[in-house]
Structure 1
Amino acid sequence: MSRLPVVAIVGRPNVGKSTLFNALTRTRDALVADIPGVTRDRIYGRATLGEQPAILIDTGGLEEAADEVMAGAQQQTRLAVEEADVVIFVTDARAGVTPDDLEISRWLRSCDKPLYLAVNKTDGLSEAQAMADASELGFESMTLMAASHRRGVERLAREVAEGLPAHEPEAPAAEGSIQLALIGRPNAGKSTLLNRLVGEERALATPIAGTTRDPIHADVERDGLKLHLVDTAGIRRRRGSHEGIERFSTIKALQAIEQAQVVVLLVDASDGVTEQDARLAGHVIDAGRALIVVLNKWDSISEDERHKVLVAMAERMNFASFAPVVTTSALHGSGLGELTDAIDHVFKAANQDLSTPALTRTLRKAVEAHAPAGSKRGTPKLRYAHSGGTFPTRIVIHGNRTAHVQEQYRRYLINCLRRQFDLTGIPVRLIFKDSDNPYAGRKNKLTPRQLQKRKRLKNLGRRKKSRK
């Protein structure tokens, strides 16, 4: 399995970089406003460009730094370009080509990275004029778009996908092993847990946050379960993290998620559940990998604090309520049996045979109990379902007018499927397809009697017109 390619989005402030990031990742992770300089730190997301998955980086605007904060934001952008395999350079068609655009384009060419020019905010403008203005930058090809309306976004995604580099596959794990990634914030106890599972000091574990720099791989068999473990560097908030040696940790952790089958998210119970923990869980769900949440250092907090942690988790990570929660103390080895049981359970759940008859019966029971809501364009008819693959678990549902199935009803169907097949810890993706109409495009062949009747009706219509 090859690592995900990395794509950085750069440009001046307020040209629409964050809007493009949100459009490509289909999220609202990047803050968007009409005020220049809103984005200061690198923001990472997962996108599918064409049919190629990739990691996207949204960056702060490049311009002359007015203070230390802006200087730090520009340094973050330069680090993002160094991390990237491909760069999308975004300009503002309404502002035209500015001296800053020319300076940025010269710098990007010196970085020796594949470049794609995206001319944004072209809505309401002459395409010929926009292309003529942008040609001053000297790019052989460009994409005109309006990211806020998604016009031209898919075309840009396809063009970038064609230029993404091919990567050599990672070294394969032991045959029959479960691919398991350990992720979490710095100092959550990932390396300590790895050492406990392996039974030796494979990873350096210290109280100092950020000790682990590169992913550490280990094969282990525990309780009859073969695991290929990957301990990743802690993913911290980008603000204040400017060390050059740390700048690849987020990329490598996201790539480890992509290569895993089961992901264990370690949460430091003594710190509580944070927004960053929730964001990491979101990355796992986006990648379609099985998720287990481990509340580590459980022995270091009181009963009252434990209750608060569980309440905070229910609130901050309600979108991942399907994931099993295990409490551990990696330092003392408590809870490891429950963890290996959870890993075994979610892996078997993800790999179970979801037969077409069983899925279809579950679908029909769900529709009988609660039919999908109708609209002016008609009511969706859901007929049968079948498996579409694992990691991510995909279920394909066929019917008519499936494009009108509401998001709330999709969640209802996922919950029905999860209960029926015990899909604990498994993100489920529904793919709706309209059944082909066998008579589409075919003309009915009229019988001689029908032809005669049609001729009589036409003659009757002509006589009525002539009388008027």
Structure 2
Amino acid sequence: MKPTIVIVGRPNVGKSTLFNRLTKTRDALVADFPGLTRDRHYGHGKIGTKPYLVVDTGGFEPVAKEGIFHEMAKQTLQAVDEADVIVFLVDARDGLTAQDKLIADKLRKTGRPLFLAVNKSEGMQRAVITAEFFELGLGVPLAISSAHGEGVRELVELMLEDFPEEEDEEKEKHPKIALVGRPNAGKSTLVNRILGEDRVIAFDQPGTTRDSIYIDFERNDKRYTIIDTAGVRRRGKVFEAVEKFSVIKTLQAVEDANVVVLVLDAHEEISEQDAHIAGFIVESGRALVVAVNKWDGLDQYQRETIKSAIDRRLGFLDFAKFHYISALQGTGIAEIFKSIDTAYAAAMCKMPTPRLTRILIDATTQHQTPKVGAFRAKMRYAHQGGSNPPLIIVHGSAVDKVPASYKRYLERIFREAFELQGTPLRVQFKQGANPFEGRARAPLTDAEEKTAHRKRMRGRKLYGKK
């Protein structure tokens, strides 16, 4: 099993930068102000033949008793409980602070292997900058630079020294589920309800989640990865640079997922922004499940109003399954997972070429392609061109003249035949090449020339020509 390295420290000491360095990714958002990271963020890394799991945490403020910083501290302590090794990160430029001493006291009581790393030490004398941190009593401080990579490899080798070498386990494919929606729709609450623990911060304030948090878990002996994302507001209301990056990370999470759960707030009007988010999911070709959250507490009139608004604004999501749930109360969660499994199976389904071709021939027999001018498209065969979303490629002649209405007819026929619930389906036409176009005519042999000459002469005699 991979050892788990947890990075802990007060705000703005460079924990996310070190996380990105250890995972060789840019998964964690990085900005030059405190409090950017709020939830636990997991990533995988490897040095030599030793793989490891690394956890980025929010700025640790152990004295916070309420508010967002208290929730962040709870997340950090939960990560520490899971740790095999703790990296306590301090800032060389700020020097030793009273908050560093409080954190050191907390971490010392955990009994976990603890390494003190003095970050932002580039261009400075290591012996000088580490001297004052001996006061913490956590062993020899190690001077590093997360941004430039100085001393990071030595730190990792020292942390993993007592762990055996392991080969990476072969990764089996399993569904990745992204939860997206507007701010404060209840995405983080739904994640916590699914996992059965307070895994991410759920706070009654829009914009609590800033990064896309990937979480591996098992449910009914099946593996999943769930992605909690930042809320997406209208472009005109996004002002902070960090929020812009959060939106980008959300869109990247949609493209990285297999199934997207669009979370709508039943207490808010179904808006154009909800339709824009849904449209991006469909354009990305991702399987989709819609969860209308906060359904509890609404009277019958309000429920009918919301359903009418959904039919009006989200009518193009007719392939997706809608669920009316309460993430806070936990109602409807099991049904969502049934739809997720169904949508994932549909998105990844295999469609044999012989069956696709038979369905195509039956469809064109029942309803011929419309005639456009002097041409009528002839469709010869079909095969699968990809998955997630399923792509069907139809070969034939004059298929470039097939109208969009007939294309939608074929999509419906294929969807019903393969029972593709919950995933977009794409049909693509491919024009057959003319086998004689562009071929150079080979010169005739003497015998062929004589035969051609005799045919021409017989033709002249037949029509009375000399």
TM superposition score normalised by structure 2 = 0.59
Distance in structure 1 (CA, Å) of the matches to 2:215 and 2:464: 86
User: How do 1:39-438 residues align onto structure 2 when only pairs under 5 Å count?
Assistant: 175-438=172-435
Distance in structure 1 (CA, Å) of the matches to 2:345 and 2:308: 29
Secondary structure of 2:311's counterpart equals helix
Secondary structure of 1:292's counterpart equals strand
Distance 1:3 1:451, change over 3 A: farther
Deviation of residue 450 (structure 1)? 4.5
Deviation of residue 313 (structure 1)? 1.2
Offset from partner CA, 1:85-126 (integer Å, 9 cap, x none) = xxxxxxxxxxxxxxxxxxxxxxxxxxxxxxxxxxxxxxxxxx
Distance 1:215 1:459, change over 3 A: same
Deviation of residue 221 (structure 1)? 1.2
Secondary structure of 1:416's counterpart equals helix
Which 5+ residue runs of structure 2 have no aligned equivalent? 1-24, 28-167
Residues 372 and 405, structure 1, Cα contact 8 Å, conserved in 2: yes
Offset from partner CA, 1:151-195 (integer Å, 9 cap, x none) = xxxxxxxxxxxxxxxxxxxx9996332111110000111000111
Distance 1:174 1:409, change over 3 A: same
Secondary structure of 2:385's counterpart equals strand
Secondary structure of 2:273's counterpart equals helix
Kindly tell me the number of residue pairs found equivalent between the two proteins.
Answer: 297
Residues 179 and 263, structure 2, Cα contact 8 Å, conserved in 1: yes
Distance 1:238 1:437, change over 3 A: closer
Structure with greater Cα Rg: 2
Deviation of residue 316 (structure 1)? 1.0
Residues 349 and 390, structure 2, Cα contact 8 Å, conserved in 1: no
Q: Which one-letter code corresponds to 1:417 in the other structure? A: F
Residues 363 and 413, structure 2, Cα contact 8 Å, conserved in 1: yes
Distance in structure 2 (CA, Å) of the matches to 1:212 and 1:172: 31
Q: Which one-letter code corresponds to 1:452 in the other structure? A: R
Residues 180 and 261, structure 2, Cα contact 8 Å, conserved in 1: yes
Secondary structure of 1:298's counterpart equals coil
Distance in structure 2 (CA, Å) of the matches to 1:447 and 1:428: 55
**Structure 2 counterpart of 1:133:** none
Deviation of residue 460 (structure 1)? 11
Distance 1:3 1:392, change over 3 A: farther
Distance in structure 2 (CA, Å) of the matches to 1:271 and 1:196: 21
Secondary structure of 1:397's counterpart equals strand
Residues 183 and 206, structure 2, Cα contact 8 Å, conserved in 1: yes
Deviation of residue 439 (structure 1)? 3.8
Offset from partner CA, 1:384-433 (integer Å, 9 cap, x none) = 11111112211111111111111111111001111111111111111211
Q: Which one-letter code corresponds to 1:192 in the other structure? A: T
Residues 223 and 340, structure 1, Cα contact 8 Å, conserved in 2: no
Deviation of residue 264 (structure 1)? 0.5
Which 5+ residue runs of structure 1 have no aligned equivalent? 5-170
Distance 1:317 1:3, change over 3 A: farther
Which deviates more, 397-406 or 295-304?
Answer: 295-304
Deviation of residue 361 (structure 1)? 1.2
Secondary structure of 2:275's counterpart equals helix
Distance 1:307 1:223, change over 3 A: farther
Distance in structure 2 (CA, Å) of the matches to 1:225 and 1:275: 36
Deviation of residue 448 (structure 1)? 4.8
Residues 298 and 327, structure 1, Cα contact 8 Å, conserved in 2: yes
Residues 349 and 387, structure 2, Cα contact 8 Å, conserved in 1: no
Offset from partner CA, 1:217-269 (integer Å, 9 cap, x none) = 11111233321011110000122331232121221111001100101100111
**Structure 2 counterpart of 1:452:** 454
Distance 1:174 1:307, change over 3 A: farther
Offset from partner CA, 1:248-306 (integer Å, 9 cap, x none) = 12211110011001011001111132111111111111111101111111113112211
Distance in structure 2 (CA, Å) of the matches to 1:271 and 1:213: 21
Secondary structure of 1:430's counterpart equals strand
Q: Which one-letter code corresponds to 1:248 in the other structure? A: F
